[in-house]
Amino acid sequence: MFQDRLQQILLPALLAGFRELYGAAPDAEKIGFQPTRPEFEGDVTINVFPFLKLSGKGPEQTANAIGDHLVKHVEAVERFNVVKGFLNIVIADAYWAGFLHEASGTDLLRFPATGRKVMVEYASPNTNKPLHLGHLRNIFLGYSVSRILQAAGNQVVKVQVINDRGIHICKSMVAWRKFGNGETPESSGLKGDKLVGKYYVEFDKALKAEVKALEAKGMAPEEAAKTAPILREAQEMLRQWEAGDPQVRALWERMNGWVYAGFNATYARAGVDFDKNYYESETYLLGKEDVLKGLEGGVFFRKADGSVWVDNTAEGLDEKVLLRADGTSLYMTQDIGTAIKRFEEYPGLSRMIYTVGNEQDYHFKVLFIILKKMGLAWADGLFHLSYGMVDLPSGKMKSREGTVVDADDLMDEVVAEARATGEQLSKLDALGTAERDALFEMIGLAALKYFLLKVDPAKRMLFDPKASIDLQGHTGPFIQYTYARIRSLLRKAEEVPVDGRRLAGQQVQPATANYQLLPEEKAVLKLLHQFPAVLNESATKLEPSALANHAYEVVKAYNAFYQSVPVLKEEDPAKQAFRLRLSSTVAAATSRALWCLGIEAPERM
C-alpha cells in the first residue's frame, strides 16, 4: 500500500491506539485515509465503521476515543471532530510548514528506483497514410504513461510497431504506380506520409468507380467489390511482395522511406520518441513455431481441415484460430511471437503495456489468455491501455475517404489559435519573432496534449481546438501561464534589493514552527502534499488524467493565493520568505508534472 508522508505518521499511531484502547489492531490495509470534505473542518478523514466490531462501541464513541489518542500522541494532530462515525483530523500548521521546508529543493514527483523494467508500446501507425487525431491521443497517452512510470522509479523502454506490410500498403503502391507519374515528396512539396496517403485515397476513389461500373453491368455489389480490377492488382502485388519480387520490394522500400521521414518529422514536433521500432514486415512470420510447440504440448488443438485453434470457452470467450488450414499465420499468431521476442530481447522485463484503442479490447483479452495458457510467467505483467475514440464537431474520421483530421494540420491549428490569443497580450511585445514563434508552438502543443490527457483514457471524447487554448480555463496553457507567472515573481524577488536584503530570502529564514497559515496558503500546501500519492495513482492505474487534473487543481489554488495574499509587498521578512518558498515549490512541482505529461514549461508568457 502506498503511504504518503502524513499517512506514515498517522498509521502507526492509529494501530497503537487501537491496541491500547481495545487490545487489538485492525488490518493496516483496511484503514482508509481520505481528504476531508470541504463542508467539514479537517484535513484527513477516517471512517471508523469497519472497526466497530473490534472496538465493541458505537461509531461516535469509537471515533472520539481514537481522536483523543491521536491528539495526545501525534504532534502533527492539532484537534479533531466527529461526524456520524467519520473522524475528521485537523493537522497543525507547523506540520504543513515543516512539509514545505522539507519539500522545497526536492522533486516531489520523482520516486526511488524500483528495479523494474517496463515496456510501453504506442503509436503503431500504418505506412499508407499520415498520422491523424486518433494517433495523437494514442501517442500522447503512451508517451505520458512512459514518463509517469519513469518518474515512479521504473526503467522504461518505449517502442512502436510499424505496420509496413499488407494489402492496405499495396493499395497506396498500386495507386501511385497507376496515377503518380513519378511524383515524389520533393517534386510535390508534400511530406512523404501525406503523399502516400494521397494515393491511398486515390485507390479508394478508383475502386468505387470500378465497382459502380461493374454494378451498372448487372453484377451484384458484393461480387463487384471482390472482382474490381484495381483490387485484384493490389492482391497480386501483395503476393509478389511476399514472394520477394525485387521491383515490388524496391517500390515498397521507396514509398515507406517517404512515410518514415514524414512520421519522424511529426514525432519530433510532437516531442515524442522511441527506443526501438518493430516492423511488421520483420515480425509477421513470428509466432508460428510457438503455436506449433503449444500444439505439441496440448495447449492448442487441430481441426480436421488442419487449422490450429485455441479453446477459450472456459474463460467465457470462444474458439480462436491461430494457424489457417494452409499453415499461414494471423495477427494473433504474430502478436504471440512478437511478445515472446520482446521478453527475450529485454531480459528482466516485468511489464508490457499496449496502448491501443478500445476497438481491440477483445483481441488483447484473447492474446493475454493464450500467453498465460502457454505457461509464460511474464504473461501476468501484460496490460492493454485501452482508450476511447476522439471526435470533432465535424464527425467521425475516415481514412479511405480522406476525411481524417491530419495530425500536422491539427498541430498547425492549435498553434495558430495560440498565436491569435497571444498576440492580443502586450506582454509579448518585447519578444523577437523567433521567440514568439517558439512560445506559440509550445503553448499550442501544450493545449493539444493537455486536452487529450486530462480525460480518462477509457472515455470517448470531443476535441475542441479553440477551448483547449483558453488561458483562464481548465487547459494546459493555464498551467503553463501560472508556472511562468511564478518564475517571473521569483526573478523579481532575486533582482530587487529591499533594505539591504534580497526578496528571495537567502538572508532570511522562512517561518516554520510558529507560522500561522492563511487558508489560501494551506489550500496550496495540502494539494502539494498530495502530489506524490497522485503520481503513484497515475503510475499504478496508468492514467495520466489523474496527474493532469491534480496539476490544474494546484495551479488554480495557487492563483487564488496569489490574487489575495501579498508576496513581494509583504513587510514581514519571514512571511515573505515562506511565501516565496511556497511559490518556488509550486513551480518545481508544476514543471515536473508537465514533464510527466510531455508538456514544456515556459519561463515567460
Q: Kindly report the CA angle at 485 between 480 and 489, in degrees rounded to 5?
A: 150
Q: What is the pLDDT of residue 566?
A: 92
Return d(Cα 311, Cα 320) in angstroms, integer. Answer: 7
Return d(Cα 383, Cα 542) in angstroms, integer. Answer: 10
Q: Three-state DSSP class for 442?
A: helix
Residues of the chain with CATH 3.40.50.620: 125-391
The residue with cell 505457461 is 375
* Cell, residue 31: 484503514
469 secondary structure, DSSP code: T
Write the CA distances from 602 to 27, 417, 469, 480, integer angstroms: 46, 17, 15, 6
Q: Which amino acid is at 286?
A: L
Q: What is the pLDDT of residue 510?
A: 59
Backbone angles phi and psi of 218, in degrees to 5: 100, 0
Write down the CATH number for the domain with range 407-596: 1.10.730.10
For the chain, helix, strand, coil in percent to 5 are 55, 15, 30
pLDDT averaged per 10 residues, the chain (length 605): 77 96 93 92 95 95 97 96 96 94 90 96 95 95 98 98 96 98 97 97 96 96 95 97 97 98 98 97 95 97 97 96 94 97 96 97 98 97 96 54 76 92 73 90 96 95 84 92 96 68 50 80 96 95 98 98 94 92 96 98 91
Q: Give every CB contact of residue 264 below 8 A, 6+ residues apart in sequence.
A: none
Rama region for 27: left / alpha / beta (φ>0; ψ in -120 to 50; rest):
beta
Highest CATH level, class, for 5-91: alpha beta
Q: Give every CB contact of residue 330 below 8 A, 6+ residues apart in sequence.
A: 321, 322, 323, 324
Residues of the chain with CATH 3.30.1360.70: 5-91
Return d(Cα 367, Cα 383) in angstroms, integer. Answer: 11
Measuring CA to CA, which residue among 499, 474, 493, 498 is closest to residue 581? 493
Return d(Cα 354, Cα 379) in angstroms, integer. Answer: 13
Measuring CA to CA, which residue among 532, 549, 591, 524 is closest to residue 100? 524
Rama region for 177: left / alpha / beta (φ>0; ψ in -120 to 50; rest):
alpha
Q: Which amino acid is at 247?
A: Q
The answer to whether 35 touches 71, Cβ cutoff 8 Å, is no
Residue 332: Cβ within 10 Å count? 19
DSSP output for 193-245: HHHHHHHHHHHHHHHHHHHHHHHHTT--HHHHHHH-HHHHHHHHHHHHHHTT-
Q: Give every CB contact of residue 185 below 8 A, 6+ residues apart in sequence.
A: 191, 192, 195, 258, 261, 262
The answer to whether 129 touches 404, Cβ cutoff 8 Å, is yes
* Cell, residue 164: 509496413
Domain 125-391, architecture per CATH:
3-Layer(aba) Sandwich (3.40)
Helices (H), 106-182: 133-151, 167-179
* Tens digit of each residue's pLDDT (9 = 90 or more) over 122-171: 999 999 999 999 999 999 999 999 999 999 999 999 999 999 999 999 99
The answer to whether 465 touches 414, Cβ cutoff 8 Å, is yes
* pTM above threshold 0.95: no
